[in-house]
Every structure is written in C-alpha cells, then in structure tokens.
C-alpha cells in the first residue's frame, strides 16, 4: 500500500529523508519547520517523520499523536518524558515508531553489545565505558544512541557504564563501547559515514506503520 509522508524538521536530516523518499518513489506531501501548521485533513492521510529538536518535539508530540496517521520519531533528547509521550500516543490510539538511532548498523551494534556484555559479566571483571562523538550542531549530550547503548549494556551485564561525549566538526556519529579488564580490552565501535543510514531506517519505519499499530521501538521490530 502506498504511503504519503510529511517531514517535520527541514534541516540536514529532513533534506536527506526527502532524497530517500524520492529514490523510493514515496510521496513527500509536505516539509515543515512548524508541523502544527499541517492541515489536519492532510495529516490524517500521512505518516510524519520527525527529526526536529528536543524542545520542538516536546511542544509538538501531542499534535502528532492527535492528528497524524502515524509518526516516526528520530528526534532524541526527550528520554525524561518518554513514558508520558508513549502514554499519550496510546491514549490517542496512534501509531508511533521511535528510535535513538534508525541506522540498521547501530541496531546491530545494540544486539552485539547486549550479547558481549552478558558474556563478559559472567567470566571476568571487565569495566565498561562508552564514548560518543558527533558534529558540533547536535544539541543533546550524551546522544540518545549512547544512552540507549548504556542501558542495554547495564541491563545485560549489571554494569554502571560511564558515557563521555565530544562535539567535533561535522562528524556524523561514532559510538564506541570498551570493556577493559586486567589483562586485555575489548572494543566495539560503530561509525556512520553520513546521515543517509538514519534516513533510510526512518523511511523503513514509515513503511512499517502500514502493518503495525501501537508504540514500538525500532530495534524491537527489525532484529
């Protein structure tokens, strides 16, 4: 079934998503810096892909839940209100797929880190640490991806993992997990070459909204 998409946030990610939609032959009905200006009759026909700012998403999530056919949320920095957001989408009977990172490679990183952390916790006294590096335009630190990775590692191995953040130039994103023991160190890392992987994953999530309902984290749907 064909879908139509409205892009919320028309910065670098918004432009990249628009390009991916065009290549996939998916209609982009509107690109907006103010999603609340979307005509409600259009919203009802469309999936919204949101890559805005933490403040914008906090201000707009109720409009998204109340009006759009479904919503894909790639914006990060709203972890503290996550329960509230999920509850509101469920109250509205609205579909939402969210992720701290829509890259397929990052979601493979999550699964690998979970397995590695569980193995290491059972056999040695490794100490875990996470470092993330992003471009200077990124507003939240640590990144949502690093927070998600930390939660996965801690839950799998009973660790308390510190996270360090750097903002350098135009780096799309590097996330590195290290497990350091008395005799060796294990390093697991993912480096994005561009934002295109995020855009491709977000478009895949938009297509998924045609066959799922309710609120889902992207990693639980793909791996």
Q: What is the pTM of this model?
A: 0.85
Domain enclosing residue 34, as ranges:
4-102+196-222
Asked if residue 123 and residue 84 are part of one domain, the reply reads no
Alpha-carbon separation of residue 20 from 33, 96, 120 (angstroms): 19, 20, 39
Q: Do 9 and 98 have their domain in common? A: yes
Residue range 150-207, pLDDT digits in tens: 999 999 999 999 999 999 999 999 999 999 999 999 999 999 999 899 999 999 999 9
Model pLDDT, residue 171: 94
**Burial letters 119-147, b for 16+ CB under 10 A, else e:** ebbeeeebebbbbbbbeeebebebbbbbb
Active site residue 138: yes
Of 138, 175, 216, 219, catalytic: 138
Q: Residue 2's pLDDT is what?
A: 83
CATH code assigned at 156: 3.30.360.10
71 and 140 part of one domain: no
CATH number of 69's domain = 3.40.50.720
Exactly one of 134, 175, 190, 219 is catalytic; name it.
134
Is residue 175 flagged as an active site residue? Answer: no
Query: Are residues 171 and 86 part of one domain?
Result: no
| Integer Cα distance of 59 and 127 in angstroms | 39
Instruction: Report yes or no: 106 and 145 within 8 Å, Cβ to Cβ.
Output: yes
Four-residue CA torsion sign, 208, 25, 194, 189: positive
Tell me the mean pLDDT per 10 residues along the chain, length 223.
91 94 96 95 97 96 98 93 98 96 93 95 92 92 94 96 97 96 96 93 96 94 82
């Amino acid at each position: 079934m064909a879908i139509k998409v409205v892009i919320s946030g028309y910065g670098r990610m918004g432009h990249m998503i628009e390009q991916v939609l065009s290549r996939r032959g998916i209609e982009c009905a509107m690109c907006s810096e103010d999603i609340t200006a979307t005509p409600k009759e259009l919203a009802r026909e469309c999936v919204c892909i949101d890559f805005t700012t933490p403040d914008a998403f906090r201000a707009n999530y109720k409009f998204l839940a109340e009006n759009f056919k479904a919503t894909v949320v790639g914006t990060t920095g709203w972890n503290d209100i996550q329960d509230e957001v999920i509850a509101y989408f469920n109250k509205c009977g609205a579909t939402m797929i969210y992720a701290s990172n829509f890259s397929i490679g990052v979601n493979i990183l999550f699964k690998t880190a979970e397995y590695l952390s569980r193995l290491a916790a059972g056999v040695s006294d490794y100490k875990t640490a996470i470092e993330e590096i992003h471009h200077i335009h990124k507003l939240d630190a640590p990144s949502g991806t690093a927070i998600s990775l930390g939660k996965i590692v801690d839950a799998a191995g009973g660790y308390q993992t510190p996270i360090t953040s750097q903002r350098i130039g135009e780096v799309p994103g590097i996330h590195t997990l290290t497990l350091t023991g008395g005799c060796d160190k294990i390093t697991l890392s993912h480096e994005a070459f561009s934002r295109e992987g995020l855009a491709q994953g977000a478009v895949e999530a938009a297509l998924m909204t045609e066959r799922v309902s309710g609120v889902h984290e992207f990693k639980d749907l793909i791996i």
